[in-house]
Amino acid sequence: MNERFEPKESEFWEPTLRRSVYMSAKITAKERIVRVLVVSQYWAPEYGVPQRRWGWLAELMKSEGHEVVVLTPPPHYLRNLSFKEWLSMGGLRVGRRAEVGPAGESIFRTPFFPAGRSLTQRAVNQLFVATGAILGAVVHRRALNGKIDVVIGTVPALPTLIASRVISWLLKTPYAIDLRDAWPDLLHEHKKWNFSVGKPSLRERIFRFGPAQLVIAVTEIIMNNCLRHSAGIISTSSLLLEKLRRTEQLSLAAQQLDKGVVIRNVFPPGTGFEKKYYYGGDSVLRVLYAGTVGRAQNLGNILDALEILRKDGINIELRIIGEGATKQQLQRQSRALDLPVSFLGRVKPDELDEHYDWADTALVHLAAWPPLRMAIPSKIYELMEMGMHISGVLDGEAAFLVRHLEAGFTVKPEDPAALAEAWRNLARNRRSLEIGDLAKDWVRQERNLRTPIILENFVRALRGKNAGS
Q: What is the pLDDT of residues 306-323, one digit of tens each?
A: 999 988 888 999 999 988
Q: Residue 467: pLDDT above 60?
A: no
pLDDT (average), residues 238-245: 81
Residue 1 is predicted with a pLDDT of: 38
Mean pLDDT of the chain: 80
* Structural contact between residues 167 and 39, judged by C-beta atoms closer than 8 angstroms: yes
Q: Residue 219: pLDDT above 90?
A: no
d(CA 285, CA 274): 19
| Confidence class for position 24, pLDDT limits 50, 70, 90 | very low
Q: What is the pLDDT of residues 324-368, one digit of tens each?
A: 878 888 899 899 999 999 999 888 777 899 999 999 999 999 988
Max Cα distance, the chain (Å): 71
Q: Residue 381: pLDDT above 90?
A: yes
Q: Residue 110: pLDDT above 70?
A: yes
Q: Residue 23: pLDDT above 50?
A: no
Q: What is the pLDDT of residues 277-299, one digit of tens each?
A: 766 556 889 999 998 887 778 88
Q: Residue 183: pLDDT above 90?
A: no
Residue 390 is predicted with a pLDDT of: 96
Residues in the chain: 469
| Confidence class for position 469, pLDDT limits 50, 70, 90 | very low
Taken in order of first residue, the domains within the chain and their CATH numbers are: 14-268+445-466 (3.40.50.2000), 285-442 (3.40.50.2000)
Q: CB neighbours (10 Å) of residue 230?
A: 28
pLDDT (average), residues 166-176: 92
pLDDT (average), residues 437-444: 94
| pTM strictly above 0.75 | yes
Q: Residue 387: pLDDT above 90?
A: yes
Range with the poorest average pLDDT among 144-153, 172-181, 219-228: 219-228
